[in-house]
Amino acid sequence: MTIMKSETVHRSADMVLLPVTLADIEGASARIDGCVSRTPLVRSNSLSNCAGQSVHLKLETHQPIGAFKLRGAMNAILSLDDAQRRRGLVTASTGNHGRAVAYAARELGVPATVCMSSLVPANKVDAIRALGAEVRIVGSSQDDAQEEVERLVEERGLTSIPPFDNVDVVAGQGTIGLEILEDIPDLAAVLVPLSGGGLAGGIAVAIKALRPQACLVGISMERGAAMNASIAAGRPMAVREEETLADSLGGGIGFNNRVTLALCSTLLDDVILLTEHEIAEGIRHAWHQEDLTVEGAGAVGIAAILAKKVEVSGPTAIIVSGANIDPKLHQRIIEGAEA
């Protein structure tokens, strides 16, 4: 594994005023307790044999919506005052965040609108509608969907729940890091799906604050990895969105990114990109060896181990971020279809 940062950078990171703190994450943990699941962390014998170290799967697939996004959405919505919630909620999403906002809004009795691009798979769109949210399909990119959010905020006074670049959302996702360290105190590495950086950034804040020697690796797809391009450039970069098995990792990070680029640039040790074939192998392995139905984004950590693109030196946690794959696509992949 090629390390992007030196230990010196991480020692100095303690002096950097990051936009999300351990206290934010601990507060989120208390706030969402009872509203989200504390997900299991299970050892994978097959991946442990492959890596030569103990490898564990953090199964965010066990959340009520089948994905980790409920943590951040619930924390952000519970952090609003009553007036903000009553105005109605709106968000842009590649699928799972919209589902999380729709679920949380239904549980709290407030209306929600979810804006998505035409690239979002139909099964994710249908699941959001089934939760009672208004769905708007706008354009062919996450940026197009975000523009619709901003219009609705301006015209209808709705309250925006950003998908990742928000302190409360990031703090909610960071609660995963607290749970991992409770289960693996001697943690050596975490492999985490990387898109807009809410999940990776939040987990990195928690892990680096409590176990700074642990390595954080963000994993994305080769097709349209916006955060990877932005980290390399030192500023938000636009990338062309393409169809990918890891559809939940699509979209840009926002040209006005205020939270997640700083976190990922400072705290991630490495970023790894995967081919579509490698992601498909991860999905197949999850089904055949782990008895798990996993979407492409949720399989990237598994895929990185299988492809030998990451080497770990001790107990490792892989974030299995979601299970919401189209059933027909999943069937084709596990039967061996090429990506």
Tokens of 252: 């840009």
Indicate the pairing of strand 41-43 with strand 55-59: antiparallel
User: Annotated catalytic, 309?
Assistant: no
Owner of token pair 């301006």: 154
User: Annotated catalytic, 118?
Assistant: no
Q: Partners of 43 in the beta sheet?
A: 56
Residue by residue, DSSP assigns 319-339 as EE-B----HHHHHHHHTT---
Which run of H or of E encompasses 185? Answer: none
Give me the catalytic one of 29, 248, 265, 321. 321
The whole-angstrom separation of Cα 76 and Cα 197 is: 16
In the chain, the N- to C-terminal Cα span, in Å, equals 25
Give me the catalytic one of 29, 58, 69, 117. 69
The whole-angstrom separation of Cα 339 and Cα 324 is: 17
Judge whether 192 and 216 are in contact, CB under 8 Å: yes
CA angle 120, 61, 160 (to 5 degrees): 50
Return the amino acid letter for 281.
E
The whole-angstrom separation of Cα 41 and Cα 177 is: 12
Q: Partners of 320 in the beta sheet?
A: 59
Backbone angles phi, psi at 306, to 5 degrees: -60, -40
Positions marked active-site: 69, 321
